[in-house]
Amino acid sequence: MMPRGKASTTLDQTVIPQLSTGELRSIYSQELFVFRCDITAAQISSAMTSYPTLRDVGVLTPDDISNLSRQIHTKYRLSRSESEVFKHIEQLITDLRSGEIPGHPLASVHLMSCLKDMERFEVANEFWKWLIDQDETHCDARVYGVAIENYTYQGVTQGELEKMFMEALERYSETVDPKIARDTGKATRLMLLQGIITARILHGDWRGAYEGFDISVRLYPTLTPARIYELFLYERPVKEAYIVFLMACRAGTPPRPPTLTPLLKEIWAKHRDVKAMIRLVYAFVGAGGKPFPQHLNSLIFAILGSLPGDVSKNKGEEFDKMFGATMALIRDLISAFGRLQVFPSEGTFNTIISLGGKLQRLDLVHGGMKELLAAHLEPNMVTHRTIVNAFGEIGDREQFQAGWRGLCAARKEFKMPWDIKDFIALIKACHLPFSSYLRCMYVNYVKGRLKSQHARLRPWRDRSQQIRYVARNIPPIHSKDFQNAITNAQCFHRFPPHYICRRPVTPSKNP
């Protein structure tokens, strides 16, 4: 009799070996390392290529998801290309909701913030409806702050947003009473404060916004983000914005450089306070901010603009002393900015040339042109147009003619399309009689044609009448339809102005 064999093991009874998460991470260590390097280097496309494999084997950590979401948000803020990142956001939200990847509150913050910036409110709202029922692995007070901002930009009433604020305090203020947390800021997250400050200031509750701002700067003087300061810079009057900007610099968190540019312009436009403008830039640099060439341009514009605008006062020994001191100050400013590795741009010298025309200072116009070349910069189209404007305001007919020819030559050389501002510069040089334009720039046979038609050349004050007059009498344009289009619409973008300088004529000595 044959010995009885051992019973066979069925598939259901087979024990399949299981690898722990640590063992899996050891096996996929190289792929995981490359994935994290891609995230650090902001290579989102490469990171998302390896993401599905790492997600399926379950080796991703909450920090991996948080860092990936942060970099996706940063990429969108820099590129503003929705098509590059929206599909990745949808993928992450789907995986978070299905539980395929671990959650992190900061991942939720960045995903919702990015959707808010894209104005994909319907997707953000659906995500929030799921988040609100999750535990602290997905949602905390910081996520509530972003949700409040999201609903603020959708026009939700302030009362509803204040309820969300109190709900967040009740859930996450720990042992502190919610009302005490609301009034004192104890156990309150900074992102939650940012959300309610945004809601209040955009709904016109500036007192409530300042109360939240006071709590944030008292409890977190060096941690208050620039975003909170910028809300007041953009939404409040210039006097308040000036104080808030100085507070940000004193806290060591200067706002972004682009926010300084409009603030400088507003101070000059409304208060003409050059000292305040210089004080702002000084505080900004002292707090570690990096100034832009536009800031130097604004200061130069204000300093030169503070000189007397009355032409009759721009002469004499007293004015010359003041003018010399002003130019010395400008040179010191340029030198100081140079030590910060911020060098003057073409716009800096365009400002000097432009103000030279307004102040009727031919030496300032020539000085600006000379300094531009000395700085090893090339005149751009704005420079050529500024020169035309300046000489037109001064009333120098020969220099005006040379400047216009230079603009025409530059447009032709660089094959740049014409701008309507070029023709405004041609028309508005009101110090020259209008007949001088014709003698300077039109050919002789055109003048004869105009005289034969008994056209009287006179310095019209109505600019639209001047524009029509020029448009009707450009000899190379023979099509009546084309002339009418230019005349009626005053559209100079199709007008070929190089024809004006085709046949330069020596200006008449007897205008």
Segment 135-156, tens digit of pLDDT:
999 999 999 999 999 999 999 9
Residue count of the chain, please give it. 511
Phi, psi (rounded to 5 degrees) for 17:
-65, 135
pLDDT of residue 315: 67
Highest mean pLDDT: which of 18-27, 74-83, 470-479?
74-83
Is residue 487 in some structural domain?
yes
Is residue 509's pLDDT more than 50?
A: no
393-414 burial, b at 16+ Cβ within 10 Å, e below that, comes to bbbbbebbbbbbbbbbebbeee
80 — alpha (psi -120 to 50), left (phi > 0) or beta? left
pLDDT of residue 470: 47
Query: Token pair 């524009």 is at which residue?
Result: 467
* Residue 195 CB partners (closer than 8 Å, separation 6+): 144, 145, 146, 147, 148, 149, 152, 165
pLDDT of residue 72: 96
Percentage with pLDDT > 70 across the chain: 75
Is residue 126 in some structural domain?
no
Query: pLDDT per residue over 405-427, tens digit each?
Result: 888 888 888 888 777 777 777 76
Is residue 417 in some structural domain?
yes
Is residue 119's pLDDT more than 80?
A: yes
CA dihedral (85, 88, 90, 94) in degrees, to 10, reads -160
Check residues 159 and 5 and name the one with the higher pLDDT.
159
Mean pLDDT of 71-83: 93
The 3-state DSSP composition of the chain as helix, strand, coil percent (nearest 5) reads: 70, 0, 30
Count Cβ atoms below 10 Å from residue 354 Cβ, excluding itself. Answer: 23
Least confident of 27-36, 152-161, 420-429, 451-460: 451-460
Least confident of 58-62, 354-358, 428-432, 454-458: 454-458
Q: Give the residue numbers spanning the domain of 452.
A: 393-511
What distance in Å separates the CA atoms of residue 150 and residue 229, rounded to the nearest whole number?
19
The total number of structural domains that make up the chain: 1
Query: Token pair 């700067």 is at which residue?
Result: 217
pLDDT of residue 511: 37
Burial of 23 (C-beta count, 10 Å sphere; 0-12/13-18/19+): exposed
Provide the whole-model pTM: 0.72
Is residue 32 in some structural domain?
no
Is residue 64's pLDDT more than 60?
A: yes
Is residue 427 in some structural domain?
yes
Is residue 188 in some structural domain?
no
Is residue 199 in some structural domain?
no
**47 contacts 68 by C-beta, under 8 angstroms:** yes
Is residue 437 in some structural domain?
yes
Mean pLDDT of 346-371: 86
Percentage with pLDDT > 90 across the chain: 44
Q: Six-digit token pair at 382?
A: 């704005």
pLDDT of residue 367: 83
